[in-house]
Amino acid sequence: MPSPTLFIGLVSHERTGYADSLGSEGLAQRLQRAFGDAHLVVNTRNLADEQGIDLSRRTVQSSLSAEMRADRQWGRFLGRDTGARWWLNHIFRRMRRLGRLFVSPPVSTVRRLINIELSHMDLLRQGLDSGAPWILVLEDDAGCHDVNELSEGLRCLIQSANGEGLVNLSESFTFDELGVTRLLTADDRMQWAEDSGSTVLRCELPATNTVCAILYSRGAAQQILAELERIPLEPVLPIDWKLNVALMRLHESTGGSEISSWFVHPAPIQQRSMKAPGILPT
In sequence order, which ranges of the chain are alpha helices (DSSP H)? 27-35, 47-51, 57-78, 84-99, 107-129, 147-160, 175-178, 218-230, 239-254
Q: How many CB atoms lie within 10 A of CB 253?
A: 11
**145 contact partners, CB below 8 Å, separation of at least 6:** 270
Full pLDDT tens readout for the chain, 282 residues: 688 999 999 999 989 999 999 999 999 999 999 998 999 999 999 998 898 888 888 999 999 999 989 988 998 999 877 767 767 777 777 777 777 777 788 899 999 999 999 999 999 999 999 999 999 999 999 999 999 999 999 999 999 988 899 999 998 899 988 889 999 999 989 999 888 889 999 999 999 999 999 999 999 999 999 999 999 999 999 999 999 999 999 999 876 557 899 999 999 999 999 864 333 333
| Residue boundaries of the structural domains of the chain | 6-275
| 262 within 8 A of 201, measured Cβ to Cβ | yes
Q: Taking phi first (over 0 means left), then psi (-120 to 50 degrees means alpha), and beta for anything else, what does residue 70 get?
A: alpha
Give residue 257's pLDDT.
Answer: 58
- Residue 278: the pLDDT is 34
Strands 6-11 and 134-139: parallel
- The closest alpha carbon to 166, from 191, 196, 136, 127, belongs to 136
DSSP 124: H
| Crossing angle between the packed helical segments 27-35 and 147-160, to the nearest 10 degrees | 60
Residue-level pLDDT at 255: 66
